[in-house]
Chains A and B, each alone.
Chain A
Amino acid sequence: MPEIKVTPLGAGQDVGRSCILVSIAGKNVMLDCGMHMGYNDDRRFPDFSYITQNGRLTDFLDCVIISHFHLDHCGALPYFSEMVGYDGPIYMTHPTKAICPILLEDYRKITVDKKGETNFFTSQMIKDCMKKVVAVHLHQTVQVDEELEIKAYYAGHVLGAAMFQIKVGCESVVYTGDYNMTPDRHLGAAWIDKCRPDLLISESTYATTIRDSKRCRERDFLKKVHETVERGGKVLIPVFALGRAQELCILLETFWERMNLKAPIYFSTGLTEKANHYYKLFITWTNQKIRKTFVQRNMFEFKHIKAFDRAFADNPGPMVVFATPGMLHAGQSLQIFRKWAGNEKNMVIMPGYCVQGTVGHKILSGQRKLEMEGRQILEVKMQVEYMSFSAHADAKGIMQLIRQAEPRNVLLVHGEAKKMEFLKQKIEQEFHVNCYMPANGETTTIFTNPSIPVDISLGLLKRETAIGLLPDAKKPKLMHGTLIMKDNSFRLVSPEQALKELGLAEHQLRFTCRVHIQDPRKEHETVLRVYNHLKGVLKDYSVQHLPDGSITVESILIQATAHSEDQGTKVLLVSWTYQDEELGSYLTSLLKKGLPQSTA
């Protein structure tokens, strides 16, 4: 049976690095290439030695697909392509291609410059890696080679995140990456058509979560900001470029308007050069409703939000500042943080995950004394808050996606085995499909049932339709013929034609069976008895009594002779060809039961 093989090299049953190998109809595809953020040693990279022990991976993989720019999905990409070695195509959406290198470079800086690691990829490697990237549009079918094609679908979650369909012939796999089924302020919900893939690979991180409503989180965020500003404190919100930052800006702007607040809100302009470029990327990636909002309010045309100048950080009085980078590891946000950290009236709100080693991560873990450059100790007295708006699908969302795509099998990644049993049963019960949960390094084999098109000869077609009833378009029709496989073509022809083409002579197989009957009369009387008996029983068949004393039932021959030693016993010879096996056996057992006493 043809099969699809899936091996997670990461995100089998843990949350960390995502890297999944799929083998479909002879093609090998790698889905995501993430870094595990919790480890500092080689465990943070996926184990590529599974693919090959030595040498470059180009020959073993047909392509690599990256779903979105989060480091646990693309963090190991430069290591993989430049240090292990891969020169084939890497596919991702346009926003992902634009944002990935920035995050990778940031990450490299933290790891090498701040933490002093050596076995890590360089800036040049990131650049070389990105040269291998082919950007794709949503719903655009991309031919990787003659047989393998891929298509990206909108996944929500973050800017540029996509779900990918990988198709070879009529076998297909859909990989969701991280996705979200409820729209938020700046991103729509994931969507896929009823593509009925053989396998759907879905993340299940939040499958066991029932999320607090967005409005409550937003309300609490505004409350915190308001309280701080009311007592004269300053609020620092480190953000990354685009995405959540816009959402929070709109939120604050509306709140300021409603409450008639006067404290200034600033947005760091460290990005203005690239801002327009990102802005354009961003606009095409959101849905219609959000696009309209942005057309009316350009990012830099907020009434209450102004561009930031470094000097403002020293101004007295309350204010709110959005500054980059998001993890407080360098640049403007770190500078502002250092100025404001000592005052307990101030607050810093971290809007997302921070990589280990960054100031953001340290303060979220509770550290209040930080060592800065030059051995300076910074005491953090300001309030530290964490707020996560990141969107993943919960159990309801996963069920929705399965309902949309209608896969034949489901495979779950990103969750813990014991905690996914309930979801597995839920999926199996509702959709009657198999649900798999492999661990890292464990290969799951999915058997598919592909349809293989076969040419049928005209003669055979005509013959088969002449026999049976009119063809019913909805019911499959069973046909008999011979399948000839030559080169890459399949043909169905009649046996006679096949023999002719192959230059073979037809062999006939004939069976003969002897049945003993007790009958003292003469042979021709016995034959008559048999004939009448069979004619009575086999009303639908053609039973004939031939002049030479033999009986035929269809093409089966029956002859009677006297037993050599015992005149009272007659021997019936029943002879049939291989094609009439069924009727022949039936006749034999019928005759063995004996003849009825009374005969005509």
Chain B
Amino acid sequence: YGDLHTFELQAPTRLIEWARGNRVCVAGYGQSGGNEILQLLPPPSLQVKETQGLCPERDFKVECGGFSNRPVYSLKYVPDTSLLVTSGPPDSSLQVWQVSAEDSDVIKPVSAIPTESDTGQSWAKIATISARAPWVLHGSRLNSVQITEVESRKNIYMAAARNSEELSGLAFLDCNTLLLCSAKGQLCLADIRQPQSPLEAASVPSAPCGERWCMGVGRGPQGSDSSPRPVARLSSGGHLTLTDVRKISESLASAKCRVPSPSSGAEFLCVSWAPALESCLAVSGFDGTVHVYDAQSWDGSGREAEPIFVHKGHAFGGSDSSGGPPSVTTHTWHPQKARTLLSAASDGSLHVWDWVQPGGNC
């Protein structure tokens, strides 16, 4: 490790979102209400370029907080506004909140964006953008994907999909293009300027059925001219596939990561690209570890890949609320510090760690 800080949140979170000024947001997902949304100011040691060892301020500060009756499964800030959007069971409606850190430290609920009720305990996946206006892209199934303007709650776009597969992720590739990923691993592209045309889909190469998939969309460091990153898809069986969004029906490379058995299910699967490193990605959600891989050496064979670093810190924590060993619920890369990651687990722990590349560069 280059550095390691461990913190304990009062309640476990399954999301870590970055906000303006390197702030971080976490939220509780307890079923019985009383969940807190916390916007945290990281310690100064995470904000400067070089890490300092015994810096006087080593703590996260809760900058503001809000209360949610629902469990918060997903949270996204709306860029260029002081709003954020959350979603969570029991339905796929969204809640809009106002963050006003100067006047008071309470995150207030402002409005809700309702959606047609769905069968089963579904919840909406969300993505936000502020290109023409603050928009939120949301939906819980392929045929319920829509874009709503956040402040006016007006519906801007509705995807014309024929099947009602469950969604596992969605993202804006740019202000006109959407990328959707279904739980079965199918990727779909959509252009919001052509709402009537059906979604272009690509299915997953040779993977066993019954696995759940999630995706990770990479963005290079801001202002870079590098070509867009491939989309990574991760399955609950440990399969990783890389696909270029410009040639969505082909797969660029694939690999398999080691999955412990029995694994803890697919609820917290998470894969993400390092913003400041070429071809490094991190994978978590199978147990109490986070794996970092270098995808440069991957080819199309799908054989097992060795991680270049494994963070095991969460596995040594206490037990989580269900009595079992803690599972990592989410992880995220620091936008500027190349090798720093934040990860959270089901026992409430929050780790900030900086890994060292053994040998070579990544």
Contact = CB atoms under 8 A, between A and B. Distances in A.
Nearest to A210: B60
B58 A425 contact: no
B166 interface: no
B55 to A, nearest CB: 8
Interface residues of B, number: 31
Interface stretch (A121-129, A219-227, A238-246): A219-227
Contact of B6 (A212, A221, A223): A212
A564 interface: no
Interface stretch (B101-109, B182-190, B252-260, B275-283): B101-109
A386 interface: yes
Interface string A413-441: 00000111110011001100000000000
A418 B63 CA distance: 10
Given A208-B61, A213-B8, A425 B106 contact: yes
A385 interface: yes
Contact of A349 (B54, B59, B61): B54
A422 B56 contact: no
Identify whether the interface residues of B are mostly helix, strand, loop, or mixed: strand
A429 B106 CA distance: 14
Contacts of B64: 422
Interface in A221-238: 221, 223-224
Contacts of A385: 53-54
Nearest to A387: B54
A421 B59 contact: no
A429 B67 contact: yes
Interface string A201-220: 00000001111110111011
Interface residues of A, number: 30
B216 to A, nearest CB: 27
Contacts of A422: 62, 64-66, 105-106
Contacts of B10: 395-396
Given A209-B61, A418-B105, A386 B5 contact: no
A386 B54 contact: yes
Contacts of A211: 7, 58-59
B105 A419 contact: yes
B89 interface: no
A523 B7 CA distance: 94
Contacts of B43: 212
A298 interface: no
A224 B54 contact: yes
A388 interface: yes
Interface of A: 208-213, 215-217, 219-221, 223-224, 349, 385-388, 395-396, 418-422, 425-426, 429-430
19 contacts: A208-B63, A210-B8, A210-B9, A210-B60, A211-B7, A211-B59, A212-B5, A213-B5, A213-B6, A213-B7, A216-B6, A220-B53, A224-B54, A349-B54, A388-B56, A395-B10, A419-B105, A421-B106, A425-B106
A-B residue pairs, 3 tightest by C-beta: A210-B60, A422-B65, A212-B58
Interface of B: 4-10, 34, 36, 40, 43, 53-56, 58-67, 102-106, 350
Given A209-B61, A418-B103, 19 more contacts: A208-B63, A209-B59, A209-B62, A210-B40, A210-B60, A210-B62, A213-B6, A215-B6, A216-B58, A219-B4, A223-B53, A395-B10, A418-B105, A422-B64, A422-B106, A426-B36, A426-B65, A429-B67, A430-B34
